[in-house]
Structure 1
Amino acid sequence: MGALDHLSNMFDCSGGSHHNHKNRKQLQTVEIKVKIDCEGCERKVRRSVEGMKGVTSINIEPKQHKLTVTGYVEPHKVVARVAHRTGKKVELWPYVPYDVVAHPYAQGVYDKKAPAGYVRYDQDPGGRHLERASSTEVRYTTAFSDENTGACAIM
């Protein structure tokens, strides 16, 4: 810290505490998957995060088993609090819209439990789950394509 920074902190007239801007939490939306069977479960989940510091809004979608918390909170703390207060299995929302994923029906990405229009989020489905086509397979599949019009004359 330079001398000017030190002097400006000493003579700060803002009246607030001297926190660095880096220490402030960012406003973010945390989506959580938690099993919600009935109105009692929904009430229990809502109460688990209502009193949490920094929470600005809570949205629960019981049919999708989804809890959305918006506020100045940290995701892992919200997950830990909901798990502790409800006693339920809780995880960050693992699903993304299927059109975001390159191969939505690849092994490990496609999930039957996912809500309609969603698949499980996977960092690298192409690297682990999908195999590359061999040169023989590529030759057979491109032999009858519209791009290779001279390859087949049986029309």
Structure 2
Amino acid sequence: MGILRNLSECFTFYTKPAEKRIPKKTVHVRVKMDCEGCVKKVTNAVEDFEGMESFVVNKSLQRVSVTGNVDAQDVLDEVRGTGKTADMWPFVPYNLVAYPYAQGAYDMKAPTGFVRNVPQAVGDPKSPEMKMMVLFNDDNPNACSIM
């Protein structure tokens, strides 16, 4: 009797469809918003999104941030459904890249304090320049103690 029950559980396990579980994350979308009407239109599109825990619509940065169990492409499609021009947020904070003035990274249209996320700006962690930067970093417990 116990063997048959275990056997039936094995078969029901394989016949049930796998539930798609999306991990909690924050999705940033760049949206062209000119007025409060645009902000309201984007807010209405995002506020009832399934799996969303919180959202922030920032008109000055032209960015919508959605936090929760959401898919990035679904959020982008929902925002594009309002008729606004939207794409994924292509910028990273200025202080997180090693070479912010590398070709393609510095963008005049980027918001203040942000540069484009390109591979040339990141830098190789094994390069001598990056090793020297970490050597004198205040957050490094093994840093030089002369400072």
Question: TM-score, length-normalised on structure 2?
Answer: 0.68
1:90 Cα deviation (Å)? Answer: 0.6
Q: Deviations over 1:33-55 (max 9, x none)?
A: 10111111100001111222111
The equivalences for 1:21-100 within 5 A come to 23-84=20-81, 86-100=82-96
Per-residue CA deviation, residues 89-120 of structure 1 (Å, 9 max, x unaligned), is: 11111110112222111221101111111101
Question: Are residues 5 and 76 of structure 1, via their aligned partners in 2, closer, same or farther at CA, if it must alter by over 3 Å?
Answer: farther
2:112 to 95, 110, 116: 116
User: Is 1:106 aligned with 2:102?
Assistant: yes
Structure 1 residues 76 and 116: alpha-carbon distance in aligned structure 2, compared to 1, 3 A threshold: same
CA shift digits 1:43-89 (9 cap, x unpaired): 000111122211111101111101001111100111011112x2111
**SS of the residue 1:124 aligns to:** helix
Structure 1, residues 111-152: CA drift from partner, whole Å, max 9, x if none?
Answer: 11111111011123489xxxxxxxxxxxxxxxxxxxxxxxxx
- The RMSD of aligned alpha carbons is 2.5
Say whether the 8 Å CA contact 2:97–2:122 is kept in structure 1: no
TM-score by length of 1: 0.65
Identity rate of aligned residues, in percent?
40
Instruction: Name the counterpart of 2:133.
Output: none
User: Alignment length, in residue pairs?
Assistant: 116
Runs of at least 4 residues off by over 6 Å:
none
Quote the offset at 1:30 in angstroms. 0.4
Gaps of 5+ in 1: 11-17, 128-155
List gaps (5 residues or longer) in structure 2: 124-147
